[in-house]
A and B are shown apart, each in its own frame.
Chain A
Amino acid sequence: MYIYSPMKVLKYSPFYLLLLSFNFTTKPVPKVNYEQLESICRKNNDTLYIVNYWATWCKPCVGEMPCFFDAAKKFKAQKVKVVFVSLNALKESALVEKFITNKKIEQDVFLLNAGNPNVWIDKVDPVWGGSIPATVMYKQKEKLFFKEGEFTQAELDSIINLKLK
Chain B
Amino acid sequence: MSRLIVGPFNRVEGDLEVRLDISAGMVADARVVSPLYRGFEAMLVGKPALDALVYAPRICGICSVSQSLAAARALAATGSVPVPANGGLAVNLIHAVENVADHLTHFYLFFMPDFARAVYAGEPWHADAAARFAAVKGTAAQDFLPARAELMNLLGILAGKWPHTLAIQPGGSTRAVSRAELARLGALLAGFRRFLERVLFADALEAVAALSTRDALLAWAEAARGDFACFVLLSQATGLNRLGRTDLRHMSFGAYPSSDGPLFPRGLFRRGVGGVLPVDRITEDVSHAWYQAAPDGAPRPPRDPGMPPDATRDDAYSWCKAPRLEGEVAEVGALSRQLVAGHPLPRDLVARDGATVEARVVARLLEVALVTMAMERWLRAIDAAAPFIDHTPLPAAGEGAGLTEAARGSLGHWVAIQGGRIANYQIIAPTTWNFSPATPPVRPGRWNRRCAAPRCETGRPSRWRYSTSSALSTRAWSARCIDGGASHPRAGPCAGGGLPAPCLAPGAGAGHRRQRRQRWRGRGHPRLGEAATLDGFQNRLGEGAPPLARIDTIEVWPHDGPAPQGFTIAASAAGTVRTGIVPDAATCPACRAELFDPADRRQGYAFGNCTHCGPRLSIVRAIPYDRANTAMAAFPMCPDCAAEYANPADRRFHAQPTACPACGPRLWLEPAPDAGTDPLDAAAALLRAGGIVAVKGIGGFHLACDATDTTAVTELRRRKARDAKPFALMARSVDEVGRYCQLDDAASTLLRSPAAPIVLLPRRPDGPPLPDGLAPDQDHLGFMLPYTPLHHLLLARLEGPLVMTSGNRSDEPQVITNEDARDRLAGLADAWLMHDRAILNRLDDSVVATTSGAPVVLRRARGYAPAPLPLPAGFDGLPPPWPWAGN
Q: Do A and B bind each other?
A: no
Q: Which A residues fall within an 8 A CB radius of B? A: none
Q: Which B residues fall within an 8 A CB radius of A? A: none
